Amino acid sequence: MVNPPPLQFYSEPLPGVDCSELHGKLIVIEGPDAVGRSTQIALLRQWLEQEGHAVLDSGMARSALAGKGIKTAKEGNTLGPITMTLFYTADFADRLENEIVPALRAGFVVLIDRYIFSIMARAIARGEDRRWIEQVAGFALVPHAVLYLRAEVEHLVSRVVLGRGAFDYWESGMDLRFGPDMYESFVRYQTRLIKALDSMVEPYQFTVIDANQPIPRIFRDLQRRIARLQLGRMRARRPALRKEKK
């Protein structure tokens, strides 16, 4: 199997970014809330580092520009759907420019816990215009692989109940109250979210992973998929990532 083609942008490239200089691999782990993405990324990072790869993992609401602002705004439960979408898009743009691109330039394996697709799916699930959000998200890089952890809503409910013991306000879509209580709203909102992600499988070339399986089996499946990308064994040099101001 040959190596994947060089990275490119979906539409408008970021200024000053030469994709031919991006020698790393961009791997996205997608899926609905409570599907186990963070668990798998932690396992994958440990495995990849043991194999000699330099790894950066990044996820939503972690940027220096917007991360704290998103968390503060969500505490008040006052974000409207469009404001939320733009807030998360700004967070992604900052991480892309100041974390992801420098790491790829340095040859890192970059693991992303939810990419622009989750922002799009959340917007679509909340009734926003699909064409608009796809245009907004066009500055994103095309990943080498998008591994979509797909599970039925019943599985997500059991994970929340057994793992956390309570439903999250935003993960339940309670800002738009899809149901009379958090359980019903979670089921209906996550159903809409999964439907939106399912609609992206073909156009964005997702690889679907059955996330109803036990964690070790999912991990082995992800390992096999990532191994096909021929990552090599050279340890990359560390990029100079922007530090968050205190």
Tens-level pLDDT at each residue, the chain (246 residues): 344 556 899 988 888 899 999 999 999 999 999 999 999 999 999 999 999 999 999 999 999 989 999 988 888 766 788 999 999 999 999 999 999 999 999 999 999 999 999 999 999 999 999 999 999 889 999 999 999 999 999 999 999 998 888 999 999 999 999 999 999 999 999 999 999 999 999 999 999 999 999 999 999 999 999 999 988 654 444 444 444 443
Cα 79 to Cα 83: distance, rounded to the nearest angstrom:
6
218: in domain: yes
Q: Are the C-beta atoms of residues 33 and 171 closer than 8 Å to each other?
A: yes
The pLDDT assigned to 163 comes to 85
70: in domain: yes
181: in domain: yes
Q: 3-state class of 11 per DSSP?
A: coil
Q: DSSP state, 165?
A: S
Q: How many CB atoms lie within 10 A of CB 221?
A: 18
Domain of residue 139: give its range: 19-227
12: in domain: no
Q: Which two tokens stand for residue 91?
A: 């967070």
Cα 188 to Cα 173: distance, rounded to the nearest angstrom:
8
41: in domain: yes
| pTM for this entry | 0.89
Residue 67's domain is classified under what CATH number? Answer: 3.40.50.300
Q: Which two tokens stand for residue 134?
A: 């796809």
Q: Are the C-beta atoms of residues 190 and 33 closer than 8 Å to each other?
A: yes
Count of domains forming the chain:
1
The pLDDT assigned to 236 comes to 41
237: in domain: no
3: in domain: no
The pLDDT assigned to 246 comes to 39
* Cα 157 → chain centroid: 20
